[in-house]
């Protein structure tokens, strides 16, 4: 950067924030987090091939394995001033979003969002180069945070409208016995309307948590799932409801109101299974142990989701006393080819037998995965190979 400033007189520092907030790693494990950083870095690096970045421009991460990237623009044909720097940053962000969309379309998902800020740093003989760079970096960081805060305000309003107007969409996916295909129950997936900015469920719930709307959103999702269960589930089938730590502290769920809602939907308490993530089950188990124990005393069942994606000791699950352990879909993928994944699942099946729980393998998408899971003694599974999610049918007028 010192050489760039000496040669060009100015440069633009661009701060790119993926803003995962640690949620991706906590929910899906470090491999998913590392994959995201790798794909983002690859997309950013591809901009050199298209000429958006020159060979003199610099690309770096803010820290080891951080989800913050820094780009220094200064190697182009012209010196940068505030006007040309803003235009150059807009071209960079537009090209980066296009590159991310191209890569994520091949992966079958939505590209990650990021926030950008920038500042111009000038060569000043009276100021150390390092000091000038850090001043500009601080300004770029401030702009990025301001852009994120502005977007969060708009997102909060959209979530408020979604909840108030009943815009949540629910899909049911069967959970089947791998031997015989009997339906154990259905898991409910909720998201915003198709084609809208809140269609992606993971992004919707991350925004709701960041903007303080998670409890209200999950209440709307539970009510929709229960109203749909009456029309969708065969008698005796179980309803699996995803439940966050915030919901475990929600009086509506922890108190008698939820029991009344379940009974009004025509369900037995034992037919409702509350899914919590491994992160909540283990790292936060002291805080929520009493809430889980109270739900079990009232007859509800507990499933621990995303097993195998976290870091915690499996033995700690004894405190939760789950009825089901759900093996994370990232570990089911290509399990027929991975000795490590097979060994991990064998350990989980053995643990489940010891604590009186049943294992559900998530995300089964191939015949080879299905047969490998059956060979390992996994009793239950879900995934598109078995049955794709279906929308809740419209209520008869």
Could you read off the pLDDT of 59-102 as tens digits, one per residue? Answer: 998 888 788 999 999 866 666 788 888 999 999 999 999 999 88
Residue 396 lies in a domain: no
The CATH number linked to 329 is 3.20.20.450
pLDDT by residue (tens digit) across 183-200? 999 999 998 887 777 888
Greater pLDDT, 255 or 182: 182
**CA–CA distance, 129 with 137 (Å, rounded to integer):** 12
Mean pLDDT, the chain, whole residue set: 85
Q: Which residues contact 89 (CB under 8 A, 6 or more apart)?
A: 12, 14, 73, 116, 118
Confirm whether 256 is domain-assigned: yes
Q: Give the residue-averaged pLDDT of 312-336.
A: 78
Regarding whether 182 and 56 lie in a shared domain, the answer is no
pLDDT of residue 396: 46
Q: Tens digit of pLDDT for each residue in 108-164?
A: 666 788 999 999 998 888 888 888 889 999 999 999 999 888 888 988 999 999 999
pLDDT of residue 123: 86
**Residue 150 belongs to a domain:** no
Of residues 223 and 315, more confidently modeled: 223
In this structure, the answer to whether residues 215 and 130 fall within a common structural domain is: no
| The predicted structure's pLDDT at residue 21 | 54
Q: Place 29 in a pLDDT band, splitting at 50, 70 and 90.
A: low
Backbone angles phi, psi at 165, to 5 degrees: -100, 5
Q: Report the DSSP pairing between strands 390-391 and 380-381.
A: unpaired
Based on the domain organization, do 106 and 232 belong to the same domain? no
- The predicted model gives 164-170 an average pLDDT of 90
Domain C-terminal end among 94, 114, 141: 141
Looking at the structure of the chain, the number of domains it has is 2
Q: Is the pLDDT of residue 283 over 80?
A: no
Work out the average pLDDT over 327-333: 84
Q: Do the domain assignments include residue 131?
A: yes
Q: Is the pLDDT of residue 284 over 70?
A: no
Structural domain span for residue 183: 157-391
> What is the SS3 assignment for 384?
coil
CA distance 363 to 305: 12
Tell me which long-range contacts 55-61 makes (C-beta under 8 A, separation of at least 24): 56/4, 58/1, 58/4, 61/37
Residues 194 and 293 in one domain: yes
Query: What is residue 106's three-state secondary structure?
Result: helix
Q: What is the pLDDT of residue 79?
A: 67
The pTM (predicted TM-score) of the whole model is 0.76
């Amino acid at each position: 950067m010192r050489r760039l400033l000496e040669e060009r007189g100015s440069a633009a520092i661009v701060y790119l924030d993926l803003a995962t907030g640690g949620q991706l790693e906590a929910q899906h494990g470090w491999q998913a987090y590392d994959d995201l950083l790798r794909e983002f870095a690859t997309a950013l690096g591809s901009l050199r091939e298209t000429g958006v970045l020159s060979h003199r421009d610099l690309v770096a991460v803010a820290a080891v394995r951080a989800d913050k990237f820094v780009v220094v623009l200064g190697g182009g044909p012209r010196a940068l001033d505030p006007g040309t720097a803003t235009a150059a940053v807009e071209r960079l962000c537009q090209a980066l979003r296009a590159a991310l969309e191209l890569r994520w379309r091949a992966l079958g998902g939505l590209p990650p969002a990021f926030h950008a800020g920038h500042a111009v740093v000038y060569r000043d003989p009276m100021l150390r180069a390092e000091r000038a760079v850090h001043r500009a970096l601080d300004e770029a960081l401030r702009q990025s945070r301001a852009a994120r805060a502005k977007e969060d305000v708009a997102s909060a309003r959209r979530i408020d409208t979604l909840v108030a107007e009943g815009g949540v969409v629910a899909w049911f996916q069967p959970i089947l016995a791998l031997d015989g295909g009997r339906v154990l129950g259905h898991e409910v997936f909720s998201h915003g309307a198709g084609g809208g900015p809140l269609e992606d469920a993971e992004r919707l719930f991350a925004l709701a948590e960041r903007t303080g709307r998670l409890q209200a959103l999950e209440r709307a999702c539970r009510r929709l799932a229960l109203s749909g269960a009456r029309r969708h589930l065969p008698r005796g089938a179980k309803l699996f409801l995803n439940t966050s730590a915030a919901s475990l502290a929600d009086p509506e769920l922890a108190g008698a109101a939820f029991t009344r809602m379940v009974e009004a939907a025509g369900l037995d308490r034992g037919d409702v299974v509350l899914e919590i993530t491994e992160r909540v089950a283990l790292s936060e188990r002291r805080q929520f142990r009493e809430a889980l124990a109270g739900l079990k005393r009232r007859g509800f069942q507990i499933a621990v989701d995303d097993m195998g994606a976290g870091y915690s000791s499996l033995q700690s699950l004894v405190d939760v006393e789950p009825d089901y352990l759900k093996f994370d879909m990232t570990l089911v993928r290509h399990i027929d080819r991975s000795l490590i994944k097979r060994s991990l699942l064998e350990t989980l099946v053995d643990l489940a037998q010891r604590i009186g729980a049943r294992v559900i393998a998530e995300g089964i998408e191939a015949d080879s995965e299905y047969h490998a899971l059956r060979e390992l003694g996994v009793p239950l599974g879900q995934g598109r190979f078995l049955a794709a999610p279906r929308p809740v049918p419209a209520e008869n007028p």
